[in-house]
Amino acid sequence: MRYSFGYGRYNDDPEHVGCPRATTDMTPCIARDGHSALDDDGQCVGCSSRPARLINEIGGEKGWSGTLADQADRLTNLVRRITEQASA
C-alpha cells in the first residue's frame, strides 16, 4: 500500500518503507536505509538520486545543507515521519 509522495508502509511489515523508485523492495534506498545506501558519488545506490533533491521533492527544508550522509539520514527521518502519519 502506498502513501505520501509514493513512499509507503506495508500492512504485513509496517516498519518497512517502500520507495517509489526502487525496482524491488530489496534494493538499497536512502529513503529507507539512510547514508548506508549512498554510493561513492553521493547518490542513492538504488535510483541514483541525490538526497537533497529527494528532500526538496517531499517538501523538506529547502536548501538544507550538511554532509551527504547527513542529508540521506534527514531524508530517511522525513520519509518515516510522513509514512507514519499517513498510515495512522
- Would you list the DSSP string of 42-72? SSBTTT---HHHHHHHTT--TT--S-HHHHH
In whole angstroms, give the CA distance from residue 29 to residue 20.
10
Q: Residues 17-70: pLDDT tens digits?
A: 888 888 887 889 999 899 999 999 999 999 999 998 998 888 766 656 789 999
The tally of domains found in the chain comes to 1
pTM: 0.83
* DSSP code at position 79: H
Structural domain harbouring 51:
4-87
* DSSP code at position 44: B
